[in-house]
């Protein structure tokens, strides 16, 4: 007589389970399913990292061209939209972007005509697109501080030193010549939810989370992310966004890289 259908299915499933529990091969003999899965994931991660390094390329003109002056590396191609400005690479004291404009967005200081309202034209257009997209989703953003001249950097740094000391100042404020704000490509952003202040609490707001998740779509990256302080040299700043262009902002965001890490692995072409 034929076995009832339900019994047949049970026997079949039992056999499959036995096969799974006793699965071995010459490469994974005696390993559990979890261990085997872990090995696969680890191998896949290694492959993905190699693929990433092989796939990231950047034209040579986007790499810093530097000349050592008075013991520091001074960037010569300072108009470069991808310029890596940090504690190791300085902008010239005399550098002022030639295409600075005021973006058509809401500012924390209203209509006051000051240098911190300025950005380079390409970055200003991208900022306008990003603010409009946020507004369409019910997110209210305010631009707080954009371009910062070398002279202004000196003032800001000296005030920070006088207030909190040299060591603390170096972690919070860029030494004159090493501020991304001088590029005209960076903007500090805030919202009413944090009193229009620049605070780490911004990370926990709807606006800060929207920016962290969407800024790359408009060419901006969160420049000083949490957990990467030793790499960037600065504390976590959920308000500081740097324009690098949509193509590269997307790659940096997808791979959770800082700009320093990006240049460590990208290949020059």
Residues involved in catalysis: 237
SS3 241: strand
How far apart, in whole angstroms, are the C-alpha atoms of residue 164 and residue 93? 25
How far apart, in whole angstroms, are the C-alpha atoms of residue 78 and residue 233? 21
Closest CA relative to residue 204, chosen from 231, 236, 169: 236
Per-residue CA distances from 171 to 122, 166, 167, 174, 237 (Å) = 29, 9, 7, 8, 11
How far apart, in whole angstroms, are the C-alpha atoms of residue 67 and residue 64? 10
Residue 115: is it exposed, middle or buried by C-beta count within 10 angstroms (0-12/13-18/19+)? middle
Q: What are phi and psi of 63, to 5 degrees?
A: -85, 145
Q: Are 221 and 249 in contact (CB under 8 A)?
A: yes
| DSSP alpha helix (H) spans, the chain | 5-21, 33-55, 121-136, 150-164, 166-172, 206-214, 229-232, 246-254, 259-265
């Amino acid at each position: 007589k034929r076995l009832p259908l339900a019994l047949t299915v049970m026997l079949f499933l039992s056999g499959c389970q036995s096969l799974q529990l006793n699965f071995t091969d010459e490469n994974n003999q005696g390993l559990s399913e979890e261990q085997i899965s872990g090995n696969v994931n680890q191998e896949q991660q290694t492959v993905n990292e190699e693929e990433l390094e092989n796939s990231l390329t950047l034209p040579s003109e986007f790499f810093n061209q530097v000349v050592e002056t008075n013991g520091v590396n001074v960037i010569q191609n300072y108009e470069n939209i991808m310029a890596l400005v940090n504690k190791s690479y300085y902008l010239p004291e005399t550098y002022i972007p030639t295409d600075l404009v005021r973006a058509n967005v809401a500012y924390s200081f209203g209509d006051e005509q000051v240098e911190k309202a300025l950005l380079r034209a390409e970055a200003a257009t991208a900022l306008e697109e990003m603010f409009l997209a946020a507004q369409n989703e019910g997110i209210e953003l305010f631009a707080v501080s954009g371009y910062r001249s070398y002279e202004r950097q000196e003032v800001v740094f000296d005030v920070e030193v006088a207030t909190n000391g040299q060591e603390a100042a170096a972690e919070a404020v860029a030494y004159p010549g090493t501020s991304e704000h001088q590029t005209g490509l960076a903007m500090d952003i805030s919202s009413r939810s944090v009193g229009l202040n620049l605070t780490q609490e911004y990370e926990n707001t709807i606006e800060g989370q929207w920016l962290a998740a969407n800024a790359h779509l408009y060419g901006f990256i969160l420049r000083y992310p949490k957990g990467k302080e030793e790499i960037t040299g600065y504390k976590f700043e959920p308000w500081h966004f740097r324009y690098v262009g949509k193509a590269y902002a997307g790659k940096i965001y997808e791979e959770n890289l800082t700009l320093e890490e990006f240049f460590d692995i990208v290949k020059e072409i």
